[in-house]
Amino acid sequence: MRRGSWKIRIFIGLAIVAFAFIQKCNNKEENPYTGRTQTINMSPEQEIAIGLQSAPEMAQQHGGLYPDEKLQAFVDAVGNRLVNNSIAQQTPYKYDFHLLADDRTINAFALPGGQCFVTYALFRQLNEAQLAGVLGHEIGHVIGRHSAERIAESTFWQTVTMGASVGADMGDIVGSIGQNTLLTNGRDDELESDELGVLFMIQSGYDPNEMIKVMEILKAAAGPNRVPEFQSTHPDPENRIEKIREAIEKYRNEG
């Protein structure tokens, strides 16, 4: 009886894992703006809805919006210039740019569907072209559908982990593999967004070399005790600078 129960568990576990892989294959699609094949399990409309729903909470976590309409209008102008001169204009996403009141955390991020944020702590260290680099990078995350891809990948690994747990008590091992995969993918996202940011800067008339200065600002902000690259979802700024230089050469030559 025990042996039969064990066989049933293995069978159920394998069925769950097989389902996860079939679902992942069925969710493959090519991103029309980057040409990259991705695993996505939601529509652009769902991404927009998630972003709009999450935006107020994200702003609240950073002290709300910065209470200076002129500075907000400046951020909007730079962001819209990037959108209007790039493939971002062709996408179904609704881009909004938010200056956050947080004057301690040096950060910028994007939610699915086009909600882009920059903290005042970072904003005050940037000139216009550098701000364009930051916002261009965040627009790159939206167009790259990186959040949607991470959600789909996370769902896949959760299902595989469940199957491994049911079938052979290997859930912890498979779960750690999944986490490492998501971290690696996160670093790739950053590099793709850097490259798109460079392209958008060039298309909008900004000097893309200012993106390198943004990396130097981020490196200085991290300080000497920054987390080693393999433990972080972000590549080391030094590696990002090297890739940014390659992207500048690539797109300038194309132009």
pLDDT confidence of residue 87? 93
Kindly tell me the burial class for residue 191, based on how many C-beta atoms sit within 10 Å of its own C-beta (0-12, 13-18, 19 or more). middle
The answer to whether residue 69 is domain-embedded is yes
The answer to whether residue 5 is domain-embedded is no
The answer to whether residue 10 is domain-embedded is no
Q: What's the domain count of the chain?
A: 1
Helix (H, G, I), strand (E, B) or coil at 144: coil
pLDDT confidence of residue 129? 97
Cα distances (angstroms) measured from residue 65 to each of 51, 59, 125, 198: 16, 6, 18, 27
Q: Cα separation of 46 and 111, whole Å?
A: 12
pLDDT confidence of residue 130? 97
What single letter denotes the amino acid at residue 86?
S
pLDDT confidence of residue 18? 56
119: number of Cβ within 10 Å: 22
The answer to whether residue 242 is domain-embedded is yes
pLDDT confidence of residue 182? 37
Buried b (16+ CB within 10 A) or exposed e, 151-187: bbbebbbebbbbbbbbbeeebeebbeebeeeeeeebb
Dihedrals phi, psi of 98, to nearest 5 degrees: -120, 125
Which two three-digit tokens encode residue 192? 């793709």
pLDDT confidence of residue 1? 40
pLDDT confidence of residue 168? 46
The answer to whether residue 9 is domain-embedded is no
| Sign of the torsion angle spanned by Cα atoms 91, 97, 102, 103 | positive
Per-residue pLDDT of the chain (255 residues; tens, 9 = 90+): 444 565 665 555 555 555 445 555 555 788 888 888 887 777 889 889 888 888 999 999 999 999 999 999 999 999 999 999 999 999 999 999 999 999 998 989 898 899 999 999 999 999 999 999 999 999 999 999 888 787 776 665 465 555 555 544 444 443 443 344 333 446 788 899 999 999 999 999 999 999 999 999 888 887 665 554 334 445 677 789 999 999 999 998 775
The answer to whether residue 230 is domain-embedded is yes
pLDDT confidence of residue 203? 95
pLDDT confidence of residue 56? 92
105: number of Cβ within 10 Å: 14
pLDDT confidence of residue 155? 62
- Total residues found in the chain within this entry: 255
pLDDT confidence of residue 209? 96
Q: Cα separation of 110 and 98, whole Å?
A: 10
The answer to whether residue 6 is domain-embedded is no
The answer to whether residue 13 is domain-embedded is no
Find the domain containing 181 and state its range: 19-254
Among 24, 119, 107, 116, which Cα is nearest to 64's?
119
pLDDT confidence of residue 24? 56
Q: Cα separation of 218 and 106, whole Å?
A: 8
